[in-house]
Amino acid sequence: MADFRVEKDSMGEVQVPSNAYYQAQTQRAVNNFPISGIRIKRSVIKGLGIIKKSAALANVELGLIDAKIAALIQEVAQEVIDGKLDEHFPIDIYQTGSGTSSNMNANEVISSRANELAREKNLDIHVHPNDHVNFGQSSNDVFPTALRIAAYNMVEEVLIPGMKTLEGALKNKGNQYAHVVKTGKTHLMDAMPVTMKQVFDGYARQIELGAQRVKSTLERIRELPQGGTAVGTGINTHSEFGAKFAAQVAKETGHPFIEAINHFEAQATVDAPCELSAQLKTYAASLMKVANDFRWMNSGPNSGISEIKLAPLQPGSSIMPGKVNPVIEESVCMVCAQAIGNDVTVTIGAQSGNFELNVMYPVVAHNLIESIELLGNVSKNFAEKSVNLLTVNEENIADKVIKNPILVTALNPLIGYDLAAKIAKKSYAENRSLIDVAEEMCDLSRAELEKALDPIKMTKGGFVE
């Protein structure tokens, strides 16, 4: 058997691998874009499958294509959704900016496989990639729709669950060590005391707000451009197609997709995906702060802060025996850096639309989905392999708290700022107990000082009585 077969399109003949379901247009794209070797994301391929299945259902309902042809399209589209045909989607993400190559890739794969099934079932049917699989559609509304379906699905199925796992882990760890008072830090310098619960509840709230910000963008993401066809007017498709299509996608995915309120906006811009990317960037910045705090609190163990002990997961050095590093936190920071960088690409892509079409959809899709996927996975991993396993160095924390000269702040209302500052400086300079120095330098009794300088009371706000 020959390794190649000859396929024809409007531009002539082209050699295609003999075992490939794709046809001439896909092969031309493979030949034209030997750029990165990075293919479109699995979630986007799934989105294309959902589109073709839902379009076939909508077109049958509208009486626009033969029911037997539509049934074959649906059957193969389900194989695309299930990931059974991924090897037949070889096109590089750096391709035509509308995603036409990937749309035709889906059309060709589905038509070839559908025709194969027709022969197996002895059906006298020929499924055409354009006239049937792509009926009532254009790459200009298909790829933007695939991007939105993929993004919505990945946010709900990967990112939000990962964020919720991390939020819960942080809350649980705070509750576990609610009794521990540590020295707070501002400017990386000792400040007033806080409880571990307050610290971890603050982290948890960061994650909670991040999830809320991300979910708020889905109200715009759920508007599907499908039905606008070439330029947003809906030429060559039924006027009811967009609404019926969106209803089928909602049924297929379980998510509340609707037809775009304005097709010209929906397919000419990347505004909604750009908004989502911006919130992913915000979450990445927030998550990096948490991970870096963990690295600082774990630093040492002898010469650093050493307030927490992260689980020892792997050797940390090829030359220094016994060294263990905060590897999970480092991986978190790298993911956050990648997501922040991806947002720059999405932003440039979003401003690169011209008139009725944006021409950076594939790279926007790749970077947006990558950020969603990475942040969801790393959030879950951070929770399971770091937060859940860490312990607090209670003895070390307690020793440092009582030696913290900044506790003198609680005496401000009682003795005034200037005298309190002198006490703090002398305590630090002489490496002596704050309460001992205060007893020598002010009129408060030992009992009054012990009451005023109780660290746990300082974590509750207000005035220490």
| Residue 366 among the catalytic residues | no
Q: What gap in Å lies between CA 288 and CA 335, rounded to an integer?
A: 9
Contacting residues for 218 by C-beta, under 8 A, at least 6 apart: 152, 155, 156, 276
Q: What gap in Å lies between CA 149 and CA 139, rounded to an integer?
A: 15
Pair 349, 364: CB distance under 8 Å: yes
Pair 305, 229: CB distance under 8 Å: no
Pair 245, 227: CB distance under 8 Å: yes
Q: What gap in Å lies between CA 221 and CA 257, rounded to an integer?
A: 8
Segment holding 12, helix H or strand E: strand 12-17
DSSP code per residue over 173-232: HHHHTTT-EEEEEETTEEEEEEEHHHHHHHHHHHHHHHHHHHHHHHHHHTEE-TT-TTTS
Among 10, 187, 239, 303, the active-site one is: 187
| Token output for 237 | 């498709």
| Collapsed DSSP state (helix, strand, coil) of residue 459 | coil
Among 36, 216, 317, 445, the active-site one is: 317
Q: What gap in Å lies between CA 171 and CA 164, rounded to an integer?
A: 11
Q: Give the CA angle between residues 438, 198, 287 to the nearest 5°.
A: 125
Pair 305, 299: CB distance under 8 Å: yes
Cα–Cα distance list, 203 to 11, 181, 200, 376 (Å): 58, 16, 5, 17
CB-based burial of residue 172 (10 Å sphere; 0-12 exposed, 13-18 middle, 19+ buried)? Answer: middle
Pair 78, 109: CB distance under 8 Å: no
| Token output for 67 | 């029911």
Task: Examine residue 301 and say whether the peptide bond preceding it is cis (omega within 30 degrees of 0).
Answer: yes
Cα–Cα distance list, 187 to 178, 191, 291 (Å): 24, 9, 17
| Collapsed DSSP state (helix, strand, coil) of residue 453 | coil
| Residue 286 among the catalytic residues | no
Cα–Cα distance list, 191 to 37, 185, 233 (Å): 52, 5, 62
So which residues are the catalytic ones?
187, 317
